[in-house]
Amino acid sequence: MENLSRVKVALREGRQTFGLWQMIPGANVSRCLARAGADWVCVDCEHGNMDDAAMHDAVPAIVAAGVSPLVRIAGMESWMVKRALDCGAHGIVVPLIRSAEEARALVQAAKFPPWGRRGFGSPYSPASFGISSTEYLQQANHSLLTIVQIETKEALETVDEIAAVEGIDALFIGPVDLGNNIGFPILGGVVMPELKDAIARIFAATRRARKKCGIFAVSGEQAKIFAGQGFDMISVAADFPVLEMAMQSQMGVARSGVSRETPGLYRFPSGTPGMR
């Protein structure tokens, strides 16, 4: 089962992975993102307009393209963990984690007994991997990814403790919430040095704990900088903003011959101090 997860295999082998972010519902959107060269597509049930049914449509469409579906759940609720994994996701991304205690509760929700408390019974999760229910039950605990987002002040302050939690595979940085929560929000696309330092601190904690580090980027250019700094999981872009930018650009050309670019959510100057 583990070998059927493109993202798990790449991370196990120490390869960098690139992903895309799905916020718009629809199997054709999933297909379009998965076919764009991604290792994984994150189905965003936190800020995207993805409900349970949309998630169940997206996950198999991503799998069918040979790409790993990850699901970002709306919050740390064990029933949301169950729904996401039961639909066949290769891993979950959990926003706004605040402590090692929350991370341990998350692992309990994501693992079958005797390790954890996840309920068993979905026919969709084994089907997602093309394996039997028994194989899924026996292999899921070590094959699926449990990823926490580090984007609160409390999590930053206890990042080593969170990184050390057994069963947490990766720490994924949400620069926007992290900036808001440490008092240095990204305004007008500008990243303050304090936020860059916080990102470097989280990255360093993952190296100490031998865990993977992910980050959310808003463009290929930004993703390339993060790749150069050694991040393991980089979300390159999200569907809605890219669609909006592409449409505005084409409209600009049609109306005036001038391509109009919408500024992205944020941009980092190249080279983040303290990071390779």
Of 74 and 176, which has the nearer Cβ to ligand 3PY? 176
- What crossing angle do the helices spanning 78-86 and 100-110 adopt, rounded to 10°? 40
> Is 174 a residue that touches Mg ion (CB under 5 A)?
yes
**Closest residue to Mg ion, based on beta-carbon distance:** 174
* Residue closer to ligand 3PY (CB basis): 131 or 170: 170
Cβ-contact 65, 35 below 8 angstroms: yes
Which residues lie closer than 8 Å to 214 by C-beta, 6 or more apart? 147, 170, 171, 172, 173, 231, 232, 233, 234, 235
| Of residues 167 and 241, the one with the C-beta less far from ligand 3PY | 241
The yes-or-no answer on residue 47 being catalytic is yes
- 216 touching ligand 3PY, by CB under 6 A: yes
Please give the Cα distance from 41 to 12 (Å, whole number).
18
- Interface of this chain with ligand 3PY, residues 83 to 122, rule: CB under 6 A: 95
CB 186, min distance to ligand 3PY, A: 8
What is the nearest approach in angstroms of ligand 3PY to the Cβ of residue 4?
Answer: 27
Query: DSSP state, 261?
Result: -
Per DSSP, the residues of 213-226 read EEEE-SSHHHHHHH
194-198: list long-range contacts, CB under 8 Å, 24+ apart: 196/268, 196/272, 196/273, 197/273, 197/274, 198/156
Instruction: Indicate whether 39 belongs to the interface with ligand 3PY (CB under 6 A).
Output: no
CB of 174 to ligand 3PY, least distance (A): 3
What, of Mg ion, ligand 3PY, none, does residue 200 touch, CB below 5 to 8 Å by kind?
A: none
* 175: partner contacted, choices Mg ion, ligand 3PY, none (Cβ within 5-8 A by kind): ligand 3PY
**Candidates 24-32, 170-178, 247-255, 265-273; binding stretch for Mg ion (CB under 5 A):** 170-178
By the rule CB under 6 A, 176 interacts with ligand 3PY:
yes
DSSP bridge partners of 92: 71, 146
Q: Contact between 151 and ligand 3PY (CB under 6 A)?
A: yes
48 binds ligand 3PY (CB under 6 A): no
Q: Residue 224 and residue 220: Cα distance in Å, rounded?
A: 6
Buried/exposed code over 71-106 (b: 16+ C-beta within 10 A; e: otherwise):
bbbeebebebbbbbbbbbbbbbbbbbbbbbebbbbb
Question: Does the footprint of Mg ion cover residue 175 (CB under 5 A)?
Answer: no
- List interacting residues with ligand 3PY (CB under 6 A): 95, 149, 151, 174-177, 216
Catalytic amino acids? 47
- List interacting residues with Mg ion (CB under 5 A): 151, 174, 177
